[in-house]
A and B are shown apart, each in its own frame.
Chain A
């Protein structure tokens, strides 16, 4: 990101690699602590998907209910997993970035010799870490209370897919963080995140949605992530997983591009 127009530290001077890595680690560690102690973030992003799972998967679930041959408790792990990943990723990146950018904190960091990528990497790392926590806890709930049986390899695959799937949503969060004001970030994310989750079949299984909505869902990134995850437990829509990956990667790149535009716009504004 060290383009000619950036105000972040740059230049030919090289910090020893060990020292640079130490900065990346510290940046991520303190971003994690910041977010963990911010209950509005840590509790809501982790607890909401778990609460939904307990409510719709464990409590309100009729005995032996199934979606197309897969038990509800199993089916809901990939879908609420995708829902949780989205939340952790979007809130983990966008709200912090928007506030720090809008209220002057990012400027203090800019004026320091901080390697610029460390800042963004830390935000993404936090999205990924909280995504992992949500998915693991969902699996734990399912196995312990929902009678879910899953080979260890499948469980690992499920976790891997969902955690990898947090990357495009972290990129989306960075893009949002660059284009919303410090106080409107949370509202904006909710406005995008909740309808997107519903329309992608993360709350109600996709086949129960009206036909038109099922068609529209194909245009939505969370749908593709959920389908990849559902594929692991054999409950997907049996579409090509290559298409799902392509959709997610394409979305990832578009979001990165938009975030970069925002970054440059911001730097341009500083230069006035």
Chain B
């Protein structure tokens, strides 16, 4: 399953050059292996979502890309260099999870200071507009709501007009409205030709934003592809219908993963919907109430991480 995903990845997505990559990168914190031999690249102009449950190693991967941590083994490369290098850093923007930001500085002052670190920053007005902060530019950070605070941190990541942005859980803890607003702003970056790597444990977020999703669990990449590919190759399709066919007959059709009786109907879980539909309609002319849906990314994700965990436990 994972092999097929990696094959599909090669043909899909953007054709830009890889500008940031981890090569066989491992990171240990004492006994804990946060990342295990991860190979992963971000191409110019794409928006990659690094998706995984809490503790999967997402933040660690971002820290390696930012030069905030050094891999225990393997290499990190950003724009062909080491992300600790000051010149490389002038091309990187970062949004990290922060417990406390100096609260008595105003929004525009925070942006002014961070802009000064970069050789060719955006104008203050541009940054404010991109992050949707015009209305609150004179407010002190401590007076802002959660969504506004995240947008200020987002502004600090983009104010230097960097080529690549690393956003670690940009919308964590935000309400639906604030989250959607930040999504809009992230999309604006992509339309300006920027490259974005964001981490999230919101499947909806990866689906809504990303060109490519990289699923990570327990420090290992377990799947990679477009959001649609991830869905298709893992959870497949769900077919609902009311049919006189015997449940065992349906189960014996090629490609059927599982069948359940759902009140007076059937719920069929299959890798692909079309071949099953042909068979069903041919064998049962009275079939009614047909409904085909893709299994949600949520389920795909659960299936992926559970499969993986089971494999892990079996080999232990």
Interface residues of A (CB under 8 A from B): 6-11, 13, 15, 19, 22-23, 26-27, 30, 33-35, 37-38, 96, 99-100, 103-105, 107-108, 110-115, 182, 270-272
Contacts and interface: CB of A to CB of B under 8 A. Distances in A.
Contacts of B118: 113
Interface string B165-208: 00000000000000000000000000000000000000000000
Sort chain B's interface into a size bin.
35 or more
Nearest to A22: B116
Contacts of B284: none
Contacts of A100: 100, 102
B94 interface: yes
Interface in B85-108: 85-90, 92, 94, 96-102, 104-105
A33 B106 CA distance: 10
B86 A11 contact: yes
Interface stretch (B67-75, B212-220, B291-299, B307-315): B67-75
A23 B100 contact: no
B109 interface: yes
A271 B97 CA distance: 18
B229 interface: no
16 contacts: A7-B69, A7-B84, A10-B84, A10-B85, A11-B84, A23-B117, A100-B102, A105-B102, A108-B156, A110-B68, A111-B67, A111-B96, A112-B114, A113-B86, A113-B160, A272-B28
A103 to B, nearest CB: 4
Contact of A34 (B27, B89, B105): B105
Interface in B127-161: 140, 153, 156, 160
B85 A105 contact: no
Contact of B96 (A27, A30, A37, A104): A104
Contacts of B109: 30, 33
B140 A9 contact: no
B276 interface: no
A19 B69 CA distance: 28
A6 B97 CA distance: 21
Given A26-B112, A105-B101, A108-B96, A113 B89 contact: yes
Contacts of A270: 68-69
B102 A272 contact: no
Given A9-B84, A104-B100, A114-B117, 20 more contacts: A9-B86, A10-B86, A11-B84, A19-B116, A23-B117, A26-B113, A34-B104, A35-B104, A37-B104, A99-B100, A104-B97, A104-B98, A104-B99, A108-B153, A108-B156, A111-B66, A111-B94, A113-B86, A113-B90, A272-B29
Contacts of B110: 30
B80 interface: no
Interface of B: 27-30, 66-70, 72, 84-90, 92, 94, 96-102, 104-105, 109-110, 112-114, 116-119, 140, 153, 156, 160
A242 B89 CA distance: 46
A107 B95 CA distance: 10
Given A9-B86, A11-B85, A23-B117, A34 B96 contact: no
Contacts of B29: 272
A3 B160 CA distance: 26
B117 A37 contact: no
The 5 A-B residue pairs with the shortest CB-CB distance, nearest first, are A13-B87, A37-B104, A103-B100, A103-B99, A104-B98
A113 B90 CA distance: 6
B82 to A, nearest CB: 8
Given A9-B89, A34-B102, A112 B94 contact: yes
Contacts of B70: 271
Nearest to A36: B104
A58 to B, nearest CB: 32
A152 to B, nearest CB: 36
Contacts of A8: 84
**Most chain B beta carbons < 10 A, residue from A8, A108, A115, A270:** A108
Contacts of B68: 7, 107, 110-111, 270
A11 B87 contact: yes
Contacts of B67: 7, 111
Contacts of B105: 30, 33-34, 37
Contacts of B94: 108, 111-112
B139 to A, nearest CB: 12
Contacts of B72: 272
B84 A113 contact: no
Contacts of B85: 9-11, 13
**Most chain A beta carbons < 10 A, residue from B92, B97, B104, B153:** B104
**Most chain A beta carbons < 10 A, residue from B29, B96, B153:** B96
B153 A272 contact: no
A11 B112 CA distance: 24
Contacts of B89: 9, 111-113
Contact of A113 (B69, B104, B117, B153): B117
**Most chain A beta carbons < 10 A, residue from B92, B116, B118:** B116
Nearest to B114: A112
**Most chain A beta carbons < 10 A, residue from B89, B101, B105, B160:** B89
Contacts of A271: 69-70
